[in-house]
Homo-oligomer: A and B are copies of this chain.
Amino acid sequence: MENFQFYSPTEFVFGRDTEDKAGELVKKHGGSKVLIHYGGGSAERSGLLGRVRTSLEKAGVSFIELGGVKPNPRDTLVYEGIELCRRDGIDFILSVGGGSVIDSSKAIALGVPYSGDFWDFYCDKAVAKAALPVGTVLTIAAAGSEGSGDSVITKEDGGLKRGTGTDLIRPRFSILDPQLTCTLPAYQTACGATDIMAHVFERYFTNTTEVEVTDRLCEAVLLTMIKETPRVIADPNNYDARANIMWAGTVAHTNIVGVGREQDWNSHGIEHELSALYDCAHGAGLAVIMPAWMEFVYRHDPLRFAQAATRIWGCQMDFGNPEVTALEGIKRFRSFLHSIGMPINFAELGAREEDIPALVDKFGIGDGKTGGFVHLSAEDITEIYRIAAKAEL
């Protein structure tokens, strides 16, 4: 196990009707003039925004609003948010939505006290020294942004998708009401579930040895997702299944299951180019990419893949041929994704094989390699896209 620091100071308030505590929580965590940041009209139509406003008013907290965050949130709206906050002396950002809204909120939070361009933090030109506090009311179990110090933003001009991470933007509180996720369409629910599982697998495949405790914690989250996801696809109003998925999604990304071990994250990087080019859902892109990545790299450590296959997917271990077990686990992962309605190849995702050179080019590693479980060259990434393009059950 490697040395590590683990710091997750977010106050999680979980359960039915917890959104009514938004006002008191903003106040408790020092906010007095709030920007409510949200996405489309569903938060308004569902009555959620109304409840949040009422809660803020009851707590004596003033607020302004900025909606319009899209999936794969854009820099343009971030600039607008920064201006608004500066103009009105906003001291707290309350994010009402899913990962995209939270990531956009975090970008605004970083930008307000910074004299330069907030994008500097996303292209490693500057290290953040301050940020406005952020709180969240989560509406989708997926990105884990409600419990992380990470944010991913897409540049409108050119579609460049980049991330940043700092403890400064860890939410002060996150309100998690599983009821809010019951109205999500099956496709979005499945995309979220795939993202959660991917966050765990990115941590699971590691070259660090002697990490039983985090291996087992990763498996715990994955076993939960395998049990609960089909239940919510079959019955969207199953509160308990929604609740298990929601807490699993947060646990998956606070990093408590990933500390002390080298992590991978190449599937996320390879997928980001897909969602940037086709504006597809991140989870759907991951469903296509991650099993393909696994098929490309499993020979690097067949026993780790066999461990996943037996402990997570319930495969019988073939002690004479661990690679057979390893491949069986990957196959079951892809079948599972298909069973919950996810695409498993380029055609189903709406991606085109002829774009692969452009995707690899945009990934932008040139003659270098990306780190992780297996270091990948541009050629390797091309091959992973090719496997993904043609994948079948």
Please give the residue numbers on chain A whose beta carbons come within 8 Å of chain B beta carbons, in ascending order.
1-16, 18, 178, 209-214, 216-217, 219-221, 223-224, 227-228, 240-241, 243-244, 247-248, 251, 256, 259-260
Contact = CB atoms under 8 A, between A and B. Distances in A.
A259 B247 contact: yes
Given A7-B11, A9-B9, A220-B217, A1 B243 contact: yes
Nearest to A223: B216
A261 to B, nearest CB: 11
Contacts of A6: 11-12, 14
A7 B244 CA distance: 18
A173 B20 CA distance: 31
30 contacts: A1-B178, A2-B15, A3-B14, A5-B12, A5-B14, A6-B12, A6-B14, A7-B10, A7-B11, A8-B8, A8-B9, A9-B9, A9-B11, A209-B240, A210-B241, A210-B244, A212-B228, A212-B244, A213-B220, A213-B244, A216-B220, A216-B221, A217-B220, A217-B221, A217-B251, A220-B220, A243-B260, A247-B259, A251-B256, A256-B256
Contact of A211 (B13, B244, B256): B244
A40 to B, nearest CB: 28
Q: 8 tightest A-B contacts by CB?
A: A3-B15, A210-B240, A216-B220, A9-B9, A220-B220, A1-B243, A6-B12, A213-B224
Contacts of A244: 1, 210-213
Given A2-B15, A213-B247, A256-B256, 17 more contacts: A1-B15, A1-B247, A3-B18, A6-B11, A7-B11, A8-B9, A9-B9, A14-B259, A210-B240, A211-B244, A212-B228, A213-B220, A216-B219, A216-B220, A217-B220, A219-B220, A243-B260
Contacts of A209: 240
